[in-house]
């Protein structure tokens, strides 16, 4: 593929995103939640597991511990028993109990709608904070997970697409400069859903990919 100018790449990115919008017209957060606190906890629990598994344990977790104060005071072993199917249940239990304590004591039981405040909580990084901002508060956020990294790399939407260890913060910064803020949350959702359904890690389904005609990596598979 000949070297692509930045202008042409930007035009291609928007054309490909238009196709993703047609293929995935109504993207949504796959985690089930009713409050910002529930989404925050569910997102922390979703690390290195599937949203389906998280959704299978959170009804019991939120029923037993409906508030930051109640989860902050929970017996760690009781929480571990509930979230055991997710893996890493001891560290996740410690994170969500400590997180709940901070929300209860430092933030007066209210999850803050602020990146700077969210990332001070135990177990919360930029990806989790962006999920909460975009889906609980309607504040533009662009979560970068493994699907986003893989899809943006294969599409060469980012300049470090050759990197085997890309920096999620750098990806967030570069991709969000190419799209208006009001699209960031759904842009991330669509890239994640496309990665799950079509652009698989080991064997992407290029034959049925709506981006096949312009994807720079299609010929490789």
13 and 154 in contact (C-beta within 8 Å)?
no
pLDDT in tens, the chain (221 residues): 568 999 999 999 999 999 999 999 999 999 999 999 999 999 999 999 999 999 999 999 999 999 999 999 999 999 999 999 999 999 999 999 999 999 999 999 999 999 999 999 999 999 999 999 999 999 999 999 999 999 999 999 999 999 999 999 999 999 999 999 999 999 999 999 999 999 999 999 999 999 999 999 999 98
As annotated, the active-site residues are 127, 145
pLDDT of residue 3: 82
For 197-200, the CB contacts below 8 A with 24+ separation are 199/147, 199/150, 199/151, 199/154
Contacts of 218 (CB under 8 A, 6+ apart): 206, 209, 211, 212
Directed axis angle between helix 89-105 and helix 76-83, to 10°?
A: 120
Q: Can you tell me which residue has the tokens 């949203």?
A: 51
pLDDT tens per residue across span 130-159: 999 999 999 999 999 999 999 999 999 999
CA atoms of 128 and 145, how far apart (whole Å): 10
The pTM for the full model equals 0.94
Contacts of 165 (CB under 8 A, 6+ apart): none
pLDDT of residue 1: 54
Three-state SS at 133: helix
């Amino acid at each position: 593929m000949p070297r692509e100018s930045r202008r042409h790449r930007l035009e291609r990115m928007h054309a490909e995103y238009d196709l993703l919008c047609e293929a995935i017209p109504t993207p949504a957060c796959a985690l089930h939640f009713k409050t910002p606190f529930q989404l925050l906890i569910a997102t922390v629990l979703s690390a290195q597991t599937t949203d389906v598994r998280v959704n299978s344990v959170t009804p019991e977790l939120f029923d037993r511990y409906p508030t930051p104060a109640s989860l902050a005071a929970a017996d760690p072993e009781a929480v571990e028993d509930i979230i055991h199917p997710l893996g890493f249940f001891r560290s996740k239990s410690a994170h969500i109990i400590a997180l709940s304590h901070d929300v209860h004591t430092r933030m007066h039981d209210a999850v803050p709608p602020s990146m700077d405040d969210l990332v001070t909580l135990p177990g919360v990084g930029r990806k989790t904070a962006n999920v909460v901002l975009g889906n609980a508060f309607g504040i533009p956020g662009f979560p970068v997970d493994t699907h986003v990294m893989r899809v943006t790399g294969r599409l060469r939407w980012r300049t470090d697409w050759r990197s085997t260890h890309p920096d999620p913060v750098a990806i967030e910064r570069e991709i969000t400069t190419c799209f208006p803020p009001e699209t960031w949350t759904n842009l991330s959702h669509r890239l994640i859903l496309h990665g799950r359904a079509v652009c698989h890690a080991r064997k992407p389904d290029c034959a049925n990919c709506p981006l096949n005609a312009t994807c720079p990596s299609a010929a490789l598979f």
